[in-house]
């Protein structure tokens, strides 16, 4: 079964038939509604290479210690699975304990997957850069480490021989030490990879270019929006977490000059803490942004809950508030286009777009320009003709030349817009002689 799942993750045409179980009525309540929760579990399973044959909403007011589900419900599902032998897996949307998972697998006689375990699998399949692969591997090992103690009797047997601390060491202790050693090794590799990213980041900061970070719920269309804004070719796929590796692209905005747009990993409800920690360094780059674009899927009725999830994660990561635009994407899939009250989104400006069809993109660019201009200052500089190339080079590192006027006395009037941080430096330069 494990081998088949790995094949399914890498070849989306191969799906393993599964039964989905949504547990409601306990502390996993959400404002998304039953349909929204079921749809999200369906998307997660599809992205992980599973075909959901049926989803059952199971009321669990008080989780039972042995199965999490009630014994009667377990028997009911067991009978259903016996009548449908083509179903070869069960996906439960709640994070159950390792012992509960083992008990359910024994009762159903098939593999049981939790939603969080599937998200880890999807991340492992989607990561493309060396940094992304290492981060996902660390997250998966930390998740595995947290669940060792409940894996049953086989992990409590005494071990012996080479590599253990003696015949009295339990197998669980050996496995825990192995995982910790692997995590330490991967983190050492990650330090080397992060040095390269920090160099790239410092170069962007040195050039003093405005940074616009794109954040949002997974599969809301962030990468497609990045492509539309920058005419780039970032990877796009109709799958959850299609893009994990941060992507930075430069574009020219009228009145602003060069702007760096960065795409970030998508969020999801109950996103595993191990994955948040793994991508914290990447997401912390949002703190360097001059403006945020929060992308919401206008065609998904659960967008209010998605908005809450996005902001909850950002707050938990202590990412400070900054100018933000709420971008409703995929309006070409909605008829009529919804009327959104700004009061719902803390008075942040709201813009409707279709990133794929490039509808409303010009309006969005204009709105971004207005926000970024709050940190710009207009300057008029007089330089000699021979020094014009030097001042042009200096200005374009910090902003944008709006107009150049050539005077009959050989001097040149340069009208520019640059970042407030660079105005002092530009004023001190003497290019008049």
Annotated binding residues for GTP, written as ranges, equal: 216-223, 241-245, 263-266, 329-332
Q: How far is CA 266 from CA 23, 214, 220, in A?
A: 24, 10, 8
Q: Which 8-state DSSP code applies to residue 337?
A: P
**Cβ distance 128 to 77 under 8 Å?**
no
User: Which of these, 179, 152, 174, 176, lies nearest to 161 by C-alpha position?
Assistant: 174
**Cβ distance 307 to 341 under 8 Å?**
no
Q: N- to C-terminal Cα distance for the chain?
A: 77
User: Which of these, 203, 147, 153, 154, lies nearest to 176 by C-alpha position?
Assistant: 147
Residue 212 structure tokens:
């616009």
Q: Which 8-state DSSP code applies to residue 56?
A: E
Q: How far is CA 272 from CA 68, 85, 86, in A?
A: 20, 31, 30
Torsion from C-alpha of 417, 418, 420, 421, nearest 10 degrees: -170
Q: Which 8-state DSSP code applies to residue 333?
A: G
Known binding-site residues equal 216-223, 241-245, 263-266, 329-332
Q: How far is CA 372 from CA 253, 316, 323, in A?
A: 10, 26, 9
Q: Max alpha carbon distance in the chain (Å)?
A: 94
Known binding-site residues for Mg(2+) equal 223, 243
Cis amide prior to 336 (ω within 30 degrees): yes
Tell me whether residue 225 is exposed, middle or buried, using C-beta atoms within 10 angstroms of its C-beta: 0 to 12, 13 to 18, 19 or more.
buried
Backbone torsions φ then ψ of 197, nearest 5 degrees: -65, -35
**Cβ distance 272 to 143 under 8 Å?**
yes
**Cβ distance 77 to 5 under 8 Å?**
no
């Amino acid at each position: 079964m494990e081998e088949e799942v790995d094949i399914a993750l890498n070849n989306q045409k191969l799906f393993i038939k599964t039964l989905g179980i949504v547990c409601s009525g306990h502390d996993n309540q959400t404002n998304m509604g039953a349909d929204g929760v079921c749809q999200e579990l369906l998307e997660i399973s599809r992205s992980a290479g599973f075909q959901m044959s049926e989803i059952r909403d199971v009321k669990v007011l008080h989780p039972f210690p042995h199965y999490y589900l009630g014994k009667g419900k377990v028997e009911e599902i067991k009978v259903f699975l016996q009548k449908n032998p083509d179903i070869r897996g069960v996906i439960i949307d709640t994070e159950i304990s390792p012992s509960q998972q083992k008990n359910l697998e024994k009762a159903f006689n098939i593999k049981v997957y939790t939603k969080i375990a599937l998200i880890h699998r999807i991340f492992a399949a989607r990561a493309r850069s060396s940094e992304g692969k290492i981060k996902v591997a660390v997250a998966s090992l930390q998740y595995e480490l947290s669940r060792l103690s409940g894996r049953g009797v086989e992990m409590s047997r005494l071990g012996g021989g080479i590599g253990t601390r003696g015949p009295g060491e339990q197998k669980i202790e050996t496995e825990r030490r192995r995982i910790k050693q692997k995590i330490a090794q991967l983190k050492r590799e990650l330090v080397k990879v992060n040095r390269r990213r920090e160099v790239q980041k410092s170069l962007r900061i040195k050039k003093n270019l405005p940074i616009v970070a794109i954040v949002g719920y997974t599969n809301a269309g962030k990468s497609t929006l990045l492509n539309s804004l920058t005419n780039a070719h970032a990877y796009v796929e109709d799958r959850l977490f299609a893009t994990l590796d941060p992507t930075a692209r430069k574009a020219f905005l009228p009145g602003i000059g060069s702007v760096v747009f960065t795409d970030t990993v998508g969020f999801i409800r109950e996103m595993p803490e191990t994955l948040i920690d793994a991508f914290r360094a990447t997401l912390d780059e949002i703190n360097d942004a001059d403006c945020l674009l929060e992308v919401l899927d206008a065609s998904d009725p659960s967008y209010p809950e998605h908005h809450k999830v996005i902001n909850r994660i950002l707050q938990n990561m202590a990412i400070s508030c900054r100018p933000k635009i709420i971008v409703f994407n995929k309006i070409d899939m909605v008829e009529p286009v919804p009327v959104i009250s700004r009061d719902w989104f803390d008075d942040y400006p709201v813009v409707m777009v279709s990133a794929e069809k490039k509808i409303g993109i010009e309006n969005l660019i204009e709105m971004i320009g207005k926000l970024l201009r709050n940190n710009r200052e207009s300057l008029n500089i007089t330089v000699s003709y021979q020094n014009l190339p030097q001042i042009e080079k200096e200005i374009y590192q910090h902003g944008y030349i709006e107009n150049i006027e050539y005077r009959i006395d050989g001097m040149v009037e340069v009208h520019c817009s640059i970042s407030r941080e660079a105005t002092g430096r530009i004023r001190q330069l003497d290019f008049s002689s």
